Chains A and B, each alone.
Chain A
Amino acid sequence: MAETEGSEAAEDGHVEETRRDFLQLATGAFAVVGAAAVAWPLVHQMNPAADTLALASIEVDISGIEIGQAIKVKWRGKPVFIRHRTPAEISAAAKIARDDLVDPEEDENRVKEGKAQWLILVGVCTHLGCIPLGTSQGETKGEFNGWFCPCHGSHYDTSGRIRKGPAPRNLEVPEYTFLNDTVVKIG
């Protein structure tokens, strides 16, 4: 009985089978596409939401910052130092030889052309993440007149470059643009 059944299927069923397989394949493919379309929103909902992204860039009015002064602003949850450098600070930064630097980088690459007096840095020590001192009035600027991290003793210079201490890299320069002479957009 079973044998007859099987061979009967084999004879008739050859063309049947190909059609059936294609149909099953097409259906399966559709179902997979559907499943992927369902999965994507469930993953994407973890990406930053619209209100978080709205704060991805900030505009700062720097007209109030006197020469020699610096301010701290919050950007993407982190502090950002904006220092209005004196000509002395700028030339001190330019004069340093590459060999003296732990993380060699030219000062002119860390500022915008024509705006060398504006130094904008992410105020997070590249060692273990503390906030270096040197922005507010009265805070020590460390041996190189830039910033000093009190946690483990890293010293940064007037270009925010690491000179002494355990930090491996210079203070990060965030993406920024001058919208005009008094407003800078960070991020």
Chain B
Amino acid sequence: MVKFQKPAWLDNSLVRWVDHRLPVFSFMSHELYEYPTPRNLNYWWNFGSLAGIVLVIMIVTGITLAMHYTPHTDHAFDSVERIMRDVNYGWLIRYIHMNGGSMFFIVVYIHIFRGLYFGSYKAPREILWILGVVILLLMMATAFMGYVLPWGQMSFWGATVITNLFSAIPWGIGDWIVTLLWGGFAVDNPTLNRFFSLHYLLPFLIVGVVVLHIWALHVHGSNNPIGIDTKGEQDVIPFHPYYTIKDMFGLGVFLTFFALFVFFAPNFFGEPDNYIPANSLSTPAHIVPEWYFLPFYAILRAVPDNFIGGWTTEWLGFIIFEAKLAGVLAMFGAIAVLFILPWLDRSPVRSSRFRPMYKWFFWIFLIDCLVLGYVGAKPAEGVFIIIGRVATAWYFIHFLVVIPLLAKFETPKELPKSISEPVLGGGAEPVVAASKAMEKA
């Protein structure tokens, strides 16, 4: 049994004076220091705090960049180059922000896959999961708008393609929305200006949702690798110093990885075409979104021309669904299924460690996402079309067919009684557990 060591500074008279009036210190102590956390968390649990830190890095570098950036089509590209060439350490701040965006998605995708593998989305953490999906959506909107700001060829054409998608909404509503988004008849200066405003705003909304996300987390505490609820003091340890130091180690490893890109391969995740100033009269040979959008881009393009169109026209007559709309719906649907995952998966077992069949399907799903990402970068020709369609179909089959069926037909492995049980081989008695711990020491 590990007891929390209350730090001396909490007894300081100034701290107590403030705390009596606004309990910030005791609040922080409770949520960050004493906070009981399962003792068996592995390194896949580091990615939540990493995501929070990357968010802070993005906001700080973003605000400093905004001191030098000009959101006007005539000056945007040049203002970014001025940052790179003339502003003190401008190149460093820009590259940190640019690569930080990619890092943010790497960290968050791993964080999400951790949740999928260990069943962190299951009761009572459904709202925690949903808030996470909301954060993902906000991140995608923020990243999309951010990429437009340098006003390179990809910025402009990516914005054109994606905003044009909304015209797929039928009955004239789509066109109205697109004109509203553009502020004109095409992506142009009004669009750039408002994207800058919203790109600055959204991260603070993300901060708000992150607060809710952590609040929801702290109600029931973290899940853990075996997915068994904590049953008593023998199953938990205080967050400080154990997970504070472990998170700092994870941060060190992550920052090293991040620094390798910033200093030695700063354009690895980018597209050369974006170093060409935007030209509305010249479309690049291949319009490619940033890598973290590629799976969704593949899904968007996967829907064949006569998919829903032919069928519905025949049966419904007056409603025309274009393949474009079906593609858009599929793309948003790919995120929508995440929202309802806690209700698709009815298996009472959380962790894949005890779900041998689900584990296989998890890895197949991961490979499917990587395949979708690969296809998204390729031109929509030849063999890539068929692979993209199969991978897209499988994506939805995984969530809508496989997962519900597994809940019915899978035989899970025998679950351990508690977190401490595998280690101490006994019951849940705290006293017994403590003596065993001493023996090991």
Contacts and interface: CB of A to CB of B under 8 A. Distances in A.
- A and B: direct contact (Cβ < 8 Å)? yes
Interface residues of B, number: 20
Contacts of A41: 88-89, 92-93
Contacts, number: 42
Contacts of B64: 42, 45-46
A51 B434 contact: no
Nearest to B87: A49
Nearest to A44: B88
Interface in A110-130: none
A50 interface: yes
Given A41-B93, A42-B93, A47 B431 contact: no
Interface string A1-39: 110110010000000000000000000000100000000
Interface string B95-139: 000000000000000000000000000000000000000000000
A1 B431 contact: yes
Main secondary structure of the interface of A (DSSP, over half): helix
B86 A44 contact: no
B93 A51 contact: no
A8 B87 CA distance: 58
Nearest to B3: A2
Contacts of A52: 86
Given A1-B431, A1-B435, A5-B438, A49 B90 contact: yes
B220 interface: no
B413 interface: no
A45 B434 contact: no
B285 interface: no
Given A41-B93, A42-B64, A47 B82 contact: no
Q: What class of interface size applies to chain A in its complex with B?
A: 10 to 19
Nearest to B89: A41
Contacts of B316: none
Nearest to A46: B67
Nearest to A54: B86
Contacts of B86: 49-52
Given A1-B434, A5-B438, A45 B88 contact: yes
Contact of B82 (A2, A4, A8, A51): A51
Pairs of residues from A and B, 9 with the lowest C-beta to C-beta distance, nearest first? A41-B89, A50-B86, A49-B86, A51-B86, A49-B87, A44-B88, A45-B88, A45-B89, A45-B64
Interface of A: 1-2, 4-5, 8, 31, 41-42, 44-47, 49-52
Interface of B: 3, 60, 64, 67-68, 82, 85-90, 92-93, 248, 431, 434-435, 438, 441
24 contacts: A1-B434, A1-B438, A2-B3, A4-B438, A8-B441, A31-B248, A41-B88, A41-B89, A41-B93, A42-B60, A44-B88, A45-B64, A45-B67, A45-B87, A45-B89, A45-B90, A46-B64, A49-B82, A49-B86, A49-B87, A49-B88, A49-B90, A50-B85, A50-B87
